[in-house]
Structure 1
Amino acid sequence: MADSRASLPPVLYLVHRIPYPPNKGDKVRSFNILRQLARSHRVFLGTFVDHPDDRQHVARLAEWCEDVCAVELDPRLGRIKSLRGLLTGEALSLPYYRSARLAQWARATVAQHGITQAVAFSGPMAQYLDVPGLQRRIVDFCDVDSAKWTQYAADRSWPMSWLYRREGEHLLAFERKAAMDSDASLFVTEAEAALFIRSAPEARERTQVMQNGVDADFFSPANCGESPYPAGGPVIVFSGAMDYWPNIDAVTWFATELLPQIRRDVPDARFWIVGMNPAPAVQALAGEGITVTGTVPDVRPYIAHADVVVAPLRIARGIQNKVLEAMAMARPVVVSAEAAAGLDADPGCECEIARGVEELVRVVVELLCDLRRRDAMSVAARERVMRAYSWAAHLNVLDRLLAPGERNSNVEMQGELAHGVTSREVGT
């Protein structure tokens, strides 16, 4: 980093997955936080690298970081290591992301550079915040992960239902403690913040909302490129990391339950599943009228040249980046009610929000058959993103929390925001 930055205050930033490149949902948010922190701080980043392709990007982090500790994490070995939680009585997510090397680096770095402020991205990374010298600790939970595990349990048979339910219970206990040990807990939507407050009422005054944004210059119709689609019928697209269970569930459900009904009215409709690391269940969907791409060099042409973008997630938390990116690229988007929680958009005008098979099928068919409506929704979607989803505006919450001498006013602001969240969402 340039010498001119030497006078900036240092900050410790702990992330469960390398925040570059920003090519999946959590990395989009963690990367934009990194850029925001680097504007006013010297960033010391501790993170994990859980995919071989990401090792090549560690050096690039020097553009925003003064120092980086990037620890290799083999997901297979991590899952074995996580089973220690069954013996220790803790959430399995904690030993999965536990590293003696990272913990030692964090302590040494805080001591060497006199770091007093730290930001942990995702709940499990809060286990690294118990470091002498830190005076201000912020945890960006993003979503209530404990609730996600509990939701998974409802769709599984024993013993996985028991294991997921256990994870939800134990992770919530950790989240509650982490929230009380920190100065602020951040969530991506008011709905997520309200959900956490219902489970952890003692953390009400420490809970805030920091919404997601979208890079509307990068995800712009001006950057649509050439169409990747061969000639044929209209294209329906889903984009996302295809080794992530909610995405796997969404495309499987869409391909098997919704697409056959859509084709009764639009026989030549095609479904493209665009995203890295497609799981075997996703690869098995490929066939007549369904294409599974795997990793693509640039997702934007696939979004920009689609007739309709869908996000039919049945298990969803927070704001879906894939929805904001498609809206930014001026495409009509059909979102399940579960995936639309916290989305600031006008249904029927700027996007379509539908619940259940019948309603989702109906709105997709209507958009495929009505070019004028698709075009009008595309324009309105882009305008909504430009008005409401600037990263800089949303990340100002973090700037205020880290501002020198703002500790007392931060507490007041947290209390006001928490009251607003609970009065609107919890009904207190």
Structure 2
Amino acid sequence: MEILQIDDTLSLKRTVDGGTEEQRKAVKAIISEVRAAGDQALRAFTEKFDAVKLDDFRVTEEEILEAYHAVSSAVVEIITEAAANIRTYHEKQLRPSWMTTAENGTMLGQKVTPLDSVGVYVPGGTAAYPSSVLMNVIPAITAGVERIVMVSPPGQDGKLPPGVLVAADIAGVKEIYKVGGAQAIAALAYGTETIKPVDKITGPGNIFVALAKREVFGDVAIDMIAGPSEIGILADDTARANEIAADLLSQAEHDPRACAVLVTTSRTLAENVLDEVYKQLPHLPRKDIATEAIENFGAIYVADDLEEAVGAINQLAPEHLEIVTENPVGLLGKIKHAGAIFLGRYSSEPVGDYFAGPNHVLPTNGTARFSSPLSVEDFQKKSSIILYSEQAMNENGAKIAEFARLEGLEAHARAVEARLK
């Protein structure tokens, strides 16, 4: 990590990882095998990649009860309260169907319908993510999705992490399977003897999961192809260096390719934050991951003034944006591109990751320029409603027919004219 001046090369210093040719071929082969052999392929891949031999993938009620006994009552209460906060926030996103009528008797509207089924992928590997369960499942349930299927790779004991199972139960998931990787995405998309297919797949994963989601897109819907985590911090000389450094590291510990950027109007703060980052790094349990991220994808930019700093942030379009300035709310209206915006000293990014209520599934790799956080709307679809009256047809039919002929579609024109007096 180094201190830089803002210039035209300002970026997150990372390109979207499309995987290697070898990885893409491997994913396609896995998907083809699951489509052809179903559960047999899932068992073989689970044994190969997770070193676990499973006869039955479905999580039992006994396993969920066992998970509750494995975590403290305090943890259960925290997850329950976080779930309530997330549910309250997402309930405000609900939008009803609507209809309008015109004097000539025409009715136009929009019908909002929840998806029938959704698959939620919860990553395993280096860490367990109960928060990912809550953030993906609760908006789907709030939207009215009836069938939610959760998949996650088993540990070497053939089980899922207790915290993940407790979160799934609190969120309301009734169908959970111990399968991960590209094979899990294939099962959700195309079905096996045990796992029935779904209409949409959400949730983060490694490069093989991301490539599998990209491969099945079109046969099913997906949420996004999420990249490694990002944080951008906009700060002035009122910010505290130790807190800013801690927030940068909070994202760096996610992934060796995570991005952590500070844009500040204060060179003194920039220098102090740089010192603090390297003071705090050695004391992190995931220091190796965080160090690689900071060295390769970390940067501190010094701006001449707040206007230049805001412009830099909008150019970066970060997944997470903290504004730690004398008047953070006053800058909110100037921010055009960010997945989630955290205002003020006490709105540290982990507050949004776990507890506040807004979704932490956010656009990465600069896609905040045109994308939004996961929401209730991602689990609904909309149908247009048209009830055209006889009066409206007589008033506008000739115009519609002429428009059709403008495009060379005579049958369209005649379909309208057949109804005209």
Q: TM-score scaled by structure 2? A: 0.34
TM-score normalised by the chain length of structure 1: 0.33
Relative CO higher for 1 or 2, CA cutoff 8 Å, sep ≥ 6? 2
| Higher Cα radius of gyration | 2
